[in-house]
A and B are shown apart, each in its own frame.
Chain A
Amino acid sequence: MESNKKYWKGLEELKTTPEFVENNKGEFAESLPIEEILSDAGLKAPTPRRDFLKAMGFGLGAVTLAACQKAPVHKSIPYLIKPEEVTPGVANYYVSSYKGHGILVKTREGRPIKLEGNPACILGEGRLDAVTQASILDLYDVSKLKDPKLDGKDATWASVDTFVKGELNKIQAGGKKIRIVSSTVNSPSTNKVIADFVAKYPNTRHVQVDAVSYSGILGANQASFGRAVLPHYHFDRADVIVSFGADFLGTWISPLEFNRQYVVNRNLASLKNKKMSRHVQFEAGMSMTGTNADVRVALKPSEEGLALLNLYAVLGGGGSAPKLSNAKAATALGLVAKELLAAKGRALVVSGSNDIATQTIVNNINTLLGSYGTTIDITNPSYQYLGNDADFVTLIAEMQRGEVDGIFFLDSNPAYNSVLPKEFAEGLYKVKLKVSFSERLDETAALCNVIAPVPHFLETWGDANAVAGYYTIVQPTINPVHNTRQAEQSLLIWSDNAIKNYYQYVKNNWETSILPGAGLSWKQLLQTGVVNSGAGANAPAAASNAAPAVNAGNAAQAILAASAALAKGGESVTELTIYESVGLRDGSYANNAWLQELPDPVSKVTWDNYVALNPKYADKLGVTEFDLVEVKADNYSVVLPVLYQPGQAIGTASIAVGYGRTKAGKVGDEVGKNAYPFLKLQNGSLQNAVAVTISAAGGKRELAQTQTHHSYEGRNIIRETTFNKYVQDPHSGTGKHGEHPTYDLWPEHKQIGHSWVMAIDLNACTGCGACVVACNVENNIPVVGRDEVIKRREMHWIRIDRYYSFQDDQGASLTKEDQIGDLAEGDSTLEDVTVINQPMLCQHCDHAPCETVCPVIATMHSSDGLNHMAYNRCVGTRYCANNCPYKVRRFNWFNYWNDSRFDNYMNNEFTQLVLNPDVTTRSRGVMEKCTMCIQRIQGGKLQAKIEKRPLRDLEIQTACQQTCPTNAIIFGDRFDPNSAVSKALGNERTYYVLEELNVQPGIGYQTKVRNTTEAQQA
């Protein structure tokens, strides 16, 4: 039985007095003085026990969870004392210059990460070309030398100085010769240093030799004007431009400047004024300039001189030239002559030949046309190329005779890029003191006993004088990374100059000779970067510099002889032209991964050079595309794959120089074959056309092309018109047929504030590829290498689509593969090809097909009209890329920044310093694409917000737009009716690619307008 007994604690409980009930509510009958005790001990106890336990439990759990996360270890060194001008996260810009072009260097936390044009630069006007954009990568090149070398071993500068000085004194005492071999030096300070050095060692002579030489023009101008200089051309003042093999938009002399000038008479503004220049190109290989020409005539190199003589004769220059056997060219030449005469004073004839006689005739033609003083300025010449081919031959002879005991190579690599590498090496062997100022152990440095490595131009002081009266300063933006020393500094030390510090030397030189004239202080100069004193390059040139026509007789004789020699072999030989490629130029950029992967503007080939042959001619030679062929000249031969190049003249082949480096570094070694030794020294200059035989060598080598289908299949993605049709109806060719109702499946995206869009003028785009490289730099785009490009996995966010089309007998356009195939089967030579370039990037569609199919909403629309990509959310189904009609999405097939198979760029910790910290590097398995440089948009918006003002038009520029030499790309806000982009998109020529899909693309294109011969005659 349970007990029901109850024991009372006391009478209070029995009576259940109100006090007892009250006291019994708590745990303890009397309240305990916990508060007092704790507050005496300086503690507070409002926290009840349960809350304490909760806090403990949560704390323990949280700490445990936090400890589970493996915290990444970042190696970073904080600023001990923060430099005043460096704020982490905020970029600093410094002026500098590269090859005479004024640039702005963007640095972040002390490291340069991007180059942009200096708007004050008269050559680029704020724009840069592909190679300059890419040149920043060379700063972080792991293949460069880290220490000076003496006899192949690492040495200290002191030991190098002792050795070189000792040797120099011995040579001086022995009366032997000293030579400084360099490419063109137009830096006033460097020239002064060299002059000082020559003064100290009088047996010294400075030999300038350019790998790609303009000796022909220099020689011709010597003959015509008594000055061995390049004239300063003004394509913007020319209404009729006729070029004979000069790739002036791609590589010739000053392509960035010429691009900018060229488009002035062909762009949106010019067309609005119903004005368009006319450009006729005669050439053998298909150059980038040729792709832009209104009329392009394929012409063998052996016919080029004849054509010029014919033109000269027709223009009234006298003399009689043998008739051109090429009927098409003869007809074109007749028309061109008329047009040139009609445009007297607004005409320009240029030639890419390096032959003195040919250039003399060109000078005479330009004189007849009144070009001097209008489109050509010889009074204020260009100093961009001063190398003399003949001087180099003399040097080799001197070395071979053992007269030279000391030689210095400054920005010069003759062991690779000279026409006589064997003779050069033999001669060099006899020289005692061989000093190379190279930044890497290149082909020439490998033959030298002293290597005094030089820093990258972003680590140095210097200056340049690209055009008469136009000076630019080079200032360092980072301390030398390696143990390197400027060549000028070395020369100052070795010549015991009073001023040992080159910075001081440059400063003194400017303060005495240049700055006073410009009225600038040194400090101001370091902010403006350029001095355009007096005879500025854009000032109208005086008419007085017109040249007296020199006697053309001798020149004509020489041309005829050369042409005959070239064509002597008849059908059995092929005329080979050696040209510079737009990406690698003379080969000094060979170790630059961005440029190696930049598709050639015409062939879209990366990572290789090749023999460009007309398909019809290849047929005749019995070879097909990618077959390896042996190209054999008198004393040199290479084996290279064949590339089918429509437009290439029958009976000709083209090979690019700049490839076949053996000691460029780990990116550039053994890419392609060296074509320099094909050049032939004749009549005092290097001739870039030689007769060769081509025969199948057996085997194939596939070229890594980013585009393998070359016709646009008649699709209305490309819309073009002719100039006279445009004048009659600006809408012509856009395919617009009035308004029509549209229907949407999806609700409209709400856009507030801004709506970012872009306009691309197909008539302004020359296809140079500067945008591609600028985008690579800005957005940390991986380089994938040749094998992956063959697998069609290049990562470029912006590409330039290039399509070929042909015409049938009736003049109708043939754009389809099968039509072109039929044409090729017939009699057509495939020489008359029309080319169009179309930059293609994410169109930021308002009804983006990629957005609807992503299962995880990794890609979505922003409130300002952009198509966003959230890398972190992407799981990599790739459906978005499949569903993109423009095929602009790029997938990270591998972990490019951490995969030893891609050891050419991002995989290296040192090279990673070039990465833009504002842009995430993407891991493998995620999709990426053009963001319209969202980091720049956000930056611009923030800046405006800080300054409490609305955004200004063109304040935010995408990287592609910023660098575009021709201003073909305009980015901006559609909601601002006065913005440049709104105006451009409002233009009658505007159309949208694949607009019929109703994806509502955000990028409008302006039709291509061609100033064809028919258009002219109409």
Chain B
Amino acid sequence: MSAHNESILREPLITGENITYSKITDDVLVPVENKPNKAWWIGFTVAALFALLWVVSVGYTFYVGIGAWGLNKTVGWAWDITGFVWWVGIGHAGTLISAVLLLFRQNWRNSINRSAEAMTIFAVICAATYVVSHMGRPWLAYWPLPLPNQFGSLWVNFNSPLVWDVFAISTYFSVSLVFWYTGLLPDIATIRDRAAGVRKKIYTILSFGWAGSVKNWQRFEAVSLILAGISTPLVLSVHTIVSMDFATSLEPGWHTTIFPPYFVAGAIFSGFAMVQTLLLVVRKVMNFENYITMFHIESMNKIIIVTGSIVGVAYLTELFIAWYSGVEYEQYAFLNRVSGPYWWAYWSMMTCNVISPQLFWFKKIRTSITASWILSIVVNIGMWFERFVIIVTSLHRDYLPSSWVMFYPSIVDVCVFLGSIGLFFTLFLLFLRVLPAIAIAEVKLLLKSASDQVKQKQIAEGHVKKEEGEAYQESLTKYDSVDYLKV
């Protein structure tokens, strides 16, 4: 064996033959610089139709009042806040990928962070639409903001978790947007440099005068790190505060200290599932298989197992604490979840969120694209049910049995939700058309071709001991999770 132990070469994060910097640029900008294909048009048409449905159903709600929904005297929130929390949760993966993984130097994030961040922004937009549309008087939606006003000494209620929520969501949205846009600058400049005509003008403005100078890059790196530092607490804080919308209340089933970590884990869980749902399609349709590799898919699946298990433990803890607390209302709330009239929602949640991600323990499933995609959808369904279970099954039977009711969604409830999905996909598909779905500049950092080429050359020229050379060659496949050449 060799006298010294050489660090094995990591599995390359970008696969494919003859990758060069220019090839990366060409590959990634294909959808941006060419006319959209048929698949895009079909997707966009369907999404836009649903977005239109959203406009109609929310417009109808604004016109007649919240009575258009299925809510009642006991259940004051249902599909609206379920949808809100669901979307905010989905948004979480973006921040986690862009900020936390950056700080931890998880370079594999570079292939997926752009789309994930875009997804975050669009998901938070969808969540924000729910914040406004669920209000009885949406034209006064700015009142929960602490704005100077002429209503006398009226101020917002800083005790109210809804006000915290306003701060949390707006901070989250603005930081995410800035982070995303900062990361986009070099890439926009790349498009600018290759574009002509009106497009060039637009991208020139959008690129903020990026020149690609050393100073530009230095500042870019610094800003990215600073923003990552700012964003990292947000990963924890946003969903913590969303959870406090429930945890600070008196409702049995809501009034729970476990909520913050449980919600954060759930949010990351659902966020990664949504990233999977989107990117598995994107990489196929846009031929990004070399950039979003099986390694990425597998890594994200691993995160899904971990967060899914955390969520599962949280569910069981809730049940235990309800029993252990001896509080009859708390006990009933959970008994009612498990075996009450909405038992099917609880068990859908349990199946989708706790049982199904455990399938990812099998490597075969974890590395199967079809299985990953289906399970990612299952997880998203499960997470929707989680929020539905928390909100509706807690509210519909609380303290006074005289007020116990059932909640049935109206057609408008369903349309607003489907419409919000349409809105999300409309925005996402537009994003794919006008901005690079993969961070070109950051992906280029991952090209390890130079060192491999040198090593191979050394081996070929006999500068390396035979066994070391063999060990090196072996390491290329031995520690790989996949035979990337086949992918």
Contacts and interface: CB of A to CB of B under 8 A. Distances in A.
B117 interface: no
A195 interface: no
Interface stretch (B5-13, B94-102, B243-251): B243-251
B103 to A, nearest CB: 33
Interface stretch (B134-142, B289-297, B352-360): B134-142
B136 A876 contact: yes
B136 A879 contact: no
B414 interface: no
A853 B136 contact: no
Contact of A712 (B157, B249, B401): B401
B157 A717 contact: no
A894 B67 contact: yes
A862 B137 CA distance: 25
Interface in A820-849: 838, 840, 849
A997 B398 CA distance: 13
B66 A882 contact: no
B284 interface: no
Contacts of B404: 708-709
Interface stretch (A36-44, A501-509, A885-893): A885-893
A893 B162 contact: no
Contacts of B399: 715, 717, 885-887, 994
A925 B250 contact: no
Interface residues of A, number: 58
A856 B157 contact: yes
B469 interface: no
Majority DSSP secondary structure for residues of B touching A: loop
Contacts of A878: 66, 71, 76-77, 134, 136
B73 A892 contact: no
A924 interface: yes
A708 B66 contact: no
B70 interface: yes
B171 to A, nearest CB: 16
B156 interface: yes
A949 B71 CA distance: 48
Interface string B131-152: 0001111101101100000010
Contact of B136 (A852, A855, A875, A994): A875
B139 to A, nearest CB: 9
Contacts of A887: 73-74, 398-400, 403
B160 to A, nearest CB: 4
B225 interface: no
A925 B400 CA distance: 25
Interface in B103-160: 134-138, 140-141, 143-144, 151, 154-157, 159-160
Contacts of B71: 878, 891, 893
Nearest to B142: A875
B162 A853 contact: yes
Interface stretch (A248-256, A397-405, A789-797): A789-797
Given A879-B162, A893-B67, A801 B402 contact: yes
Contacts of A717: 399-400
A713 interface: yes
Contact of B77 (A802, A882, A893, A997): A882
B143 A893 contact: no
A139 interface: no
A872 to B, nearest CB: 9
Nearest to A716: B328
Contacts of B137: 874-876, 923-926
A873 interface: yes
Contact of A855 (B156, B395, B398): B156
A717 B250 CA distance: 16
Q: Which of B65, B141, B154 has the most CB of A within 10 A?
A: B65
A711 interface: yes
A824 B161 CA distance: 45
B52 interface: no
A238 to B, nearest CB: 32
Contacts of B405: 708, 792
Contacts of A791: 70, 72
Contacts of B166: 855
Contacts of B251: 882-883
A881 B76 contact: yes
Contact of A792 (B72, B160, B250, B328): B72
B252 to A, nearest CB: 9
Majority DSSP secondary structure for residues of A touching B: loop
A987 interface: no
A878 B134 CA distance: 9
Contacts of A714: 328
Contact of B248 (A711, A713, A853): A853
A796 to B, nearest CB: 9
A168 B249 CA distance: 75
Q: Which of B66, B70, B403 has the most CB of A within 10 A?
A: B403
> What's the interface size class on B, roughly?
35 or more
A747 B134 CA distance: 31
Contacts of A883: 249-251
B143 A875 contact: yes
Interface string A709-752: 11111110100000000000000000000000000000000000
Nearest to B165: A855
A243 B155 CA distance: 60
Given A713-B332, A792-B72, A892-B136, A882 B402 contact: no
Given A887-B73, A893-B66, A854 B157 contact: yes
A891 B74 CA distance: 10
Contacts of B403: 707, 886-887
Interface in A934-967: none
B316 interface: no
Contacts of B159: 852-853
A925 B67 CA distance: 9
Interface in A882-908: 882-883, 885-887, 889-895, 899
B64 interface: yes
A878 B72 CA distance: 10
Interface string A783-822: 0000010011110000101110000000000000000000
Contacts of A801: 400, 402
Contact of B160 (A788, A854, A881): A854
B447 interface: no
A681 interface: no
Q: Which of A708, A856, A873 has the most CB of B within 10 A?
A: A856
Contacts of A838: 402
Contact of A715 (B76, B140, B328): B328
B73 A793 contact: yes
Contacts of A927: 136
Contacts of B135: 875-877, 925
Given A857-B156, A875-B135, A997 B143 contact: no
A412 to B, nearest CB: 40
A992 to B, nearest CB: 13
A999 interface: yes
Interface in B63-85: 64-67, 70-74, 76-77
Q: Which of A712, A715, A788, A875 has the most CB of B within 10 A?
A: A875
A707 B74 CA distance: 11
A926 B249 contact: no
Contacts of B161: 853
A891 B76 contact: yes
Given A855-B162, A886-B399, A924-B67, 16 more contacts: A717-B399, A802-B402, A853-B160, A855-B157, A873-B143, A873-B151, A877-B135, A878-B66, A883-B249, A885-B250, A885-B399, A887-B399, A890-B73, A924-B65, A993-B400, A999-B250
7 contacts: A792-B73, A853-B162, A854-B162, A886-B400, A891-B73, A891-B136, A893-B66
For the complex of A and B, 7 pairs with smallest distance between CB atoms: A876-B136, A925-B136, A893-B67, A878-B76, A801-B402, A887-B403, A792-B72
Interface of B: 64-67, 70-74, 76-77, 134-138, 140-141, 143-144, 151, 154-157, 159-163, 166, 245, 248-251, 328-329, 332, 395, 397-406
